[in-house]
């Protein structure tokens, strides 16, 4: 009823209003689609930034982990060859770090899986 009064007031016919409404509808759809594409592009860009940050973090961590692994392997080799009291605390620390950070250690520090480490701790009565 209100639409009929509006049509009469403006002097427009229903045939003139329908194309205007369709044009308005298409404009809204196109604007919504553009906004959605813009949002998707923004999300993809953030994903790429996160991937770059992850890669940078990995590049910083891996060399350190390799150094830790080399040091651990050398200590395990030295201590299992000739055990001494100075090795005990170090071997316990290595073992505790391996237990405390399994996700990090499992990926980057293979010396944690060295059977000599566990054997040493058991033989010395250090594993509780």
Q: Per residue in 33-54, pLDDT tens?
A: 666 666 666 566 566 667 777 7
Whether this model's pTM surpasses 0.85: no
Burial of 95 (0-12, 13-18, 19+ CB in 10 A): middle
Q: Domain limits of the chain?
A: 14-123
Q: Per residue in 79-100, pLDDT tens?
A: 888 878 788 988 888 888 888 8
């Amino acid at each position: 009823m209100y639409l009929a009064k509006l049509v009469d007031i403006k002097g427009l016919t229903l045939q003139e209003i329908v194309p205007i409404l369709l044009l308005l509808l298409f404009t809204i759809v196109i604007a919504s689609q553009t906004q959605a594409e813009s949002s998707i592009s923004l999300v993809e860009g953030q994903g790429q930034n996160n991937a770059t940050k992850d890669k940078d973090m990995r590049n910083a961590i891996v060399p350190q982990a390799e150094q830790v692994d080399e040091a651990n392997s050398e200590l395990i080799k030295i201590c299992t060859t000739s055990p001494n009291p100075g090795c005990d605390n170090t071997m316990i620390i290595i073992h505790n770090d391996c237990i405390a950070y399994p996700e990090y250690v499992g990926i980057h520090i293979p010396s944690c899986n060295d059977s000599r480490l566990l054997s040493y701790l058991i033989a010395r009565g250090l594993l509780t």
